[in-house]
Chain A
Amino acid sequence: QKEVEQDPGPLSVPEGAIVSLNCTYSNSAFQYFMWYRQYSRKGPELLMYTYSSGNKEDGRFTAQVDKSSKYISLFIRDSQPSDSATYLCAMSAEGGATNKLIFGTGTLLAVQP
């Protein structure tokens, strides 16, 4: 079993829809959680960073962490065609241990105009 599981998609939604992207994990020690967006043939860019459980909102994006269920989510409201990309979750157990980040395989999202 992989430490981090992410549905590869592709996920296709109409413009304006609410999108839910998810990752599950097996290591209960994980407490730092990130979401990256990666456009085709580009490097990933950091979208959201959360510590421990709870929600964090930034514009149309909301990151949610449920440590009891070992489950994290990224919600995109009012999705736009420009949101079409691969979304990667990443997590680690130790603060500052960027060499120990574990990435999901990514979910490909397509927002249809």
Chain B
Amino acid sequence: DGGITQSPKYLFRKEGQNVTLSCEQNLNHDAMYWYRQDPGQGLRLIYYSQIVNDFQKGDIAEGYSVSREKKESFPLTVTSAQKNPTAFYLCASSSGQGNTIYFGEGSWLTVV
């Protein structure tokens, strides 16, 4: 089945550690996105990529890094510089036509 796969679903991290969240899509979409979701704040865009080997900062990129070496993959690294990393992280993709994006199932990151 076509879709977006995020892993792991749940992740615990100690303060000071970097962690990488995986996102893979088999929808043949050119554009991919990372959002962060916090209670009462809605979805906030971290990074996006509209083509392989190119990505742009979103509204809250500080403390995060990404890469886009393959069309199917867009991993997100949450670095120790991110002050408040505990959140629900959503990966998404779109064909680039129209305005609809499709989401993965999300990854829960908790800093302990």
Binding site for B on A (CB under 8 A): 4, 6, 8, 32, 34, 36, 41-46, 49, 88, 92, 95-99, 101, 103-106
Contact = CB atoms under 8 A, between A and B. Distances in A.
A43 B42 contact: no
Contacts of A34: 99-100
Contacts, number: 64
What range describes how many residues of B lie at the interface?
20 to 34
A99 B31 contact: yes
A92 B104 CA distance: 21
A28 B65 CA distance: 33
A98 B43 contact: no
Contact of B90 (A4, A43, A95): A43
A41 B88 CA distance: 9
A105 B40 CA distance: 6
8 nearest A-B residue pairs (beta carbon)? A43-B103, A105-B42, A103-B43, A32-B99, A98-B94, A103-B42, A99-B48, A43-B105
A9 B109 CA distance: 25
B42 A104 contact: yes
